């Protein structure tokens, strides 16, 4: 049975309460941030103008702002106020990205970090990013990898407490990005050692990992398995056509 999508007022209230309780950046967020920065660095841009969609408390926007002028937009007014107080060198705005368009071709890089899975209209999110990017501009997007999530969860355990949760398999996500006016430069998965079913159960076996470590092969196998799609999150890097 289908359920009505939560209203924007319900979502705003949810995120105001959620970000009010956030006090730290965890290891997974830092690993994803490192991958995002690497992707931007590979583009070799000088002082790129950047936009982060759904910036939460602004910590990633603040990091991006060290490399070029950066704007972070977020639904929660409380999160935006906190971000402005903590990171005055970056620009923040309270915006519903579901009904907003940025300046046309106003940005060199747009980052969507763990946002698209919390939107009812994912195609509109990508259209917004395309609208805001200059021709050839870079979209860097991360989101949970449904293939690994489904190999990890149990029927009684929800993926998260979010109001909206639409995770995509890596191949489906890549196809969606490509169909929305982007050329996919590369894609991979991030953060291994998750999943308790199928091949992931074997890859994450302590016994196998011990044998691989003894043979000096563990890092190579981890790298290959992430490239093959075994990670918990998907990273897509794409250029606006």
Summarised one tens digit per residue, pLDDT across range 151-195 is 876 655 556 677 788 999 999 999 999 999 999 999 999 988 887
Would you say residue 2 has pLDDT above 60?
Answer: no
Would you say residue 50 has pLDDT above 90?
Answer: yes
- What are the sequence ranges of the domains in the chain? 8-192+231-240
Residue 152: per-residue pLDDT = 74
- Where is pLDDT greater, at 153 or 36? 36
Residue 9: per-residue pLDDT = 84
Summarised one tens digit per residue, pLDDT across range 190-229 is 988 887 777 777 787 888 889 989 999 988 988 888 888 8
Q: CATH assignment of 8-192+231-240?
A: 3.40.50.150
Residue 158: per-residue pLDDT = 57
Total-model pTM: 0.87
* Full 3-state SS string of the chain: CCCCCCCHHHHHHHHHHHHHCCCCCCHHHHHHHHHHHHHHHHCCCCCCCEEEECCCCCHHHHHHCCCCCEEEEECCHHHHHHHHHHCCCCEEEECCCCCCCCCCCCEEEEEEECCHHHCCCHHHHHHHHHHHEEEEEEEEEEEEEHHHHHCCCCCCCCCCCCCCCCCECHHHHHHHHHCCCEEEEEEEEECCCCCCCHHHHHHCCHHHHHHHHHCCCHHHHHHHHHHCCCCCEEEEEEEEC
Share of the chain above pLDDT 90, in %: 64
Rounded to the nearest integer, the mean pLDDT of the chain is 90
Would you say residue 116 has pLDDT above 90?
Answer: yes
Average pLDDT over residues 50-73: 97
Residue 37: per-residue pLDDT = 98
- Where is pLDDT greater, at 29 or 197? 29
């Amino acid at each position: 049975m289908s359920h009505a999508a939560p209203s924007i007022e319900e979502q705003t209230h949810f995120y105001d309460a959620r970000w009010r309780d956030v006090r730290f950046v965890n290891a997974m967020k830092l690993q994803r941030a490192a991958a995002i920065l690497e992707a931007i660095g590979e583009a070799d841009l000088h002082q790129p103008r950047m936009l982060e969609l759904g910036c939460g408390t602004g910590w990633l926007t603040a990091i991006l702002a060290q490399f070029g002028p950066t704007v972070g937009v977020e639904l929660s007014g409380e999160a935006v106020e906190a971000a402005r107080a903590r990171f005055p060198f970056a620009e923040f705005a309270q915006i519903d990205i579901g009904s907003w368009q940025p300046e046309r071709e106003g940005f060199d890089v747009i980052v969507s970090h763990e946002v698209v899975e919390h939107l009812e209209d994912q195609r509109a999110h990508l259209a917004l990013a395309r609208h805001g990017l200059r021709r050839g501009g870079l979209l860097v997007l991360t989101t949970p990898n449904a293939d690994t999530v489904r190999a990890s969860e149990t029927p009684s355990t929800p993926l998260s407490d979010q109001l909206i949760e639409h995770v995509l398999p890596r191949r489906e996500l890549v196809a969606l990005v490509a169909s929305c006016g982007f050329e996919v430069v590369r894609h991979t998965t991030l953060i291994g050692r998750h999943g308790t079913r199928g091949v992931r159960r074997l890859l994450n076996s302590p016994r196998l990992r011990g044998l691989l470590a003894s043979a000096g092969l563990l890092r190579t196998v981890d790298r290959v398995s992430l490239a093959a799609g075994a990670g918990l999150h998907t990273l897509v890097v794409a250029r606006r056509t």
